[in-house]
Amino acid sequence: MSLNEIICKYDINQTKYSIKIKEIIKHKFGEKIPKAFVKTYGCQQNVSDSEKYKGMLSQMGFSFTDSQNDADVILFNTCAIRENAENKALGNLGWIKNIKKSKPDLFVIICGCMTEQENILEKIKAVYPFVNLVIGTHSAHKFPEFFYKAYQKIHKKIYISEKADVVPEELPIKRDSKLKAFVSVMYGCDNFCSYCIVPYVRGRERSRKPENIIEEFKCLVNSGYKDITLLGQNVNSYGKGLEEKINFPELLRRIDSIDGDYKIRFMTSHPKDATHELFDVISESRHIAHHIHLPVQCGNDRILKLMNRKYDIKTYLEKINYAKSKIPDLTLTSDIIVGFPGETYEEFKDTLELIKKVKFSSLFTFIYSPRSGTPAAKIPDPTGKPEKTKRILELLKTQEEISKNLCSEMVGKKMRVLAESLEPKGGYIMCRTDGNITVQIPNHKEIIGNFVDVMITDSRNESLIGKLI
């Protein structure tokens, strides 16, 4: 099947279902507007999907609440990346069971990555039979239809987990912020890192057409959005399978040519596909932030090979050195997995060495979590949890020192930052640098939503203090 065949516009029929649902809830609730509670687990991709679910719920006539006790509809958008992500969602479902006892009409929806696993689907059916609708990551664009079918008759349950790799377009979106936005450029992942569940639950890589991305981006800039993140599990393989020959750096060039006062960010970049061309585009651009999140996962070549990451540390460092030569004020962040099966303490020390060499501004660190069905889950893992915890603490301590030093080197510098929000407790404004570091400045409410110049006056561990110039 060519990609053109699987691109799917938000079907007019879906809007028809939304209208039908609106009529049903008007009949059921009268003048009262029913409320939906949406809880998101996992990565930015899920945050972005939840904004689409909220867009569709809003079209159906629901308003939103932050309290699950207050809700008429509860939607959990789940994540399967590590065991604890799954446990959090299942634990919360246990709570819903109690609410449902006193509120039998409560409509419960489970969607997201967890639901694409057969064993989880079985578990939901067996342990949480009160769930009304389960909808997989591939079927989100048909949400109103399945919602309608399950809602019409509250006791009829629907479990839908299709394997079609679609590229949904024009879904209604209710964005959480008026300043920062996500734009998906591609879905799915073809990399099959040996520890990772994402390719199994999100399907194969498929890219959106550049014209659709650019249209959405222009619309955001015209509506005043200032910080826009392009999303994909591996944005650097953008373009694969499209009729038009286009790669990610070229997409960035086209977006960068849109006039306006805004920043472009993107995540995530797989190091094997991060090319010199990518760093050249960043250094030549008007709008791309001087920050790159480049997950290295670990600092040892044997483990990287077992992880199926397809690069070694020498290549990774060569790319970083090139990037720093082109973009001297570049900030780097990364993801690290500690305790991959069979990782020795000596091999773990290579990760410590690597982070000291690269000097990331911050790290997302995880203890390896076996995912059923992935190749790594079959590798013998003799290292116990206490040793892995010791290693991650050592990693965090080493990183703390690096972040602290990097931040203290910024004191005395002038920076352009985006004033994002008022911190009600501290009474200061939270700003963000181009390199994604937070800066607190004294309260000047009027600057929120704008880029402003600040002088960095002091530093904390991973953040900065400044004042308006």
Stretch that binds ligand SF4, among 5-13, 115-123, 151-159, 193-201 (CB under 6 A): 193-201
DSSP annotation of 368: -
Question: If 0-12 CB within 10 Å is exposed, 13-18 middle and 19+ buried, where does residue 2 land?
Answer: exposed
412 φ/ψ angles, rounded to the nearest 5 degrees: 95, -10
Tokens encoding 460: 């904390």
Q: Identify the residue among 189, 278, 306, 395 touching ligand SF4 (CB under 6 A).
A: 189
- Cβ-proximal residues to 134 (8 Å cutoff; 6+ apart), any chain: 109, 110, 111, 115, 121, 124, 158, 159, 160, 161
195 lines the binding site for ligand SAH (CB under 6 A) = yes
Summarize as ranges the residues that interact with ligand F3S (CB under 6 A).
42-43, 45-46, 79-81, 113, 197-198, 201-202
How many CB atoms neighbour CB 372 within 10 A?
A: 13
Footprint (CB under 6 A) of ligand SAH, residues 68-97? 81-82
What does DSSP say about strands 331-338 and 464-468: parallel, antiparallel, or unpaired? unpaired
**What distance in Å separates the CA atoms of residue 363 and residue 336, rounded to the nearest whole number?**
7
| Min CB(345)–ligand F3S separation in Å | 28
Stretch that binds ligand SF4, among 19-27, 119-127, 196-204, 318-326 (CB under 6 A): 196-204
> Which amino acid is located at 10 in the chain?
Y
Nearer to ligand F3S among residue 160 and residue 330 (C-beta): 160
234 lines the binding site for ligand SF4 (CB under 6 A) = yes
Tokens encoding 334: 């990364």
Q: Which residue number places its CB atom closest to ligand F3S?
A: 42
74: which strand partners?
37, 108
Stretch that binds ligand SAH, among 13-21, 101-109, 191-199, 235-243 (CB under 6 A): 191-199
Footprint (CB under 6 A) of ligand SAH, residues 279-318? 295, 297
| Min CB(78)–ligand F3S separation in Å | 7
Tokens encoding 400: 């703390």
- Residue 192 interacts with which of ligand F3S, ligand SAH, ligand SF4, none, CB < 5 to 8 Å by class: ligand SF4
- Residue 80 interacts with which of ligand F3S, ligand SAH, ligand SF4, none, CB < 5 to 8 Å by class: ligand F3S
**What distance in Å separates the CA atoms of residue 10 and residue 30, rounded to the nearest whole number?**
29
Residue span 323-352 as binding mask against ligand SAH, x where in contact by CB under 6 A, dash where not:
------------x-x---------------
- Residue 335 interacts with which of ligand F3S, ligand SF4, ligand SAH, none, CB < 5 to 8 Å by class: ligand SAH
Cβ–Cβ under 8 Å, residues 140 and 53: yes
Cβ–Cβ under 8 Å, residues 391 and 385: no
Q: Identify the residue among 193, 294, 304, 441 touching ligand SF4 (CB under 6 A).
A: 193
Tokens encoding 16: 């028809």
Nearer to ligand SAH among residue 83 and residue 318 (C-beta): 83
Nearer to ligand SF4 among residue 18 and residue 236 (C-beta): 236
270 lines the binding site for ligand SAH (CB under 6 A) = yes
Nearer to ligand SF4 among residue 45 and residue 399 (C-beta): 45
Q: Where are the alpha helices (DSSP H) in 265-384?
A: 276-284, 301-306, 313-326, 345-358
Cβ–Cβ under 8 Å, residues 13 and 145: yes
- Residue 368 interacts with which of ligand SF4, ligand F3S, ligand SAH, none, CB < 5 to 8 Å by class: ligand SAH
Cα angle 206-207-210, degrees, rounded to a multiple of 5: 165
- Cβ-proximal residues to 284 (8 Å cutoff; 6+ apart), any chain: none
Nearer to ligand F3S among residue 61 and residue 188 (C-beta): 188
Nearest in space to 441 (alpha carbons), one of 453, 431, 452: 431
Contacting residues toward ligand SAH, per CB under 6 A: 81-82, 195-196, 198, 233-234, 268, 270, 295, 297, 335, 337, 366, 368-369, 371
Contacting residues toward ligand SF4, per CB under 6 A: 189, 191-193, 196, 198-199, 233-234, 270
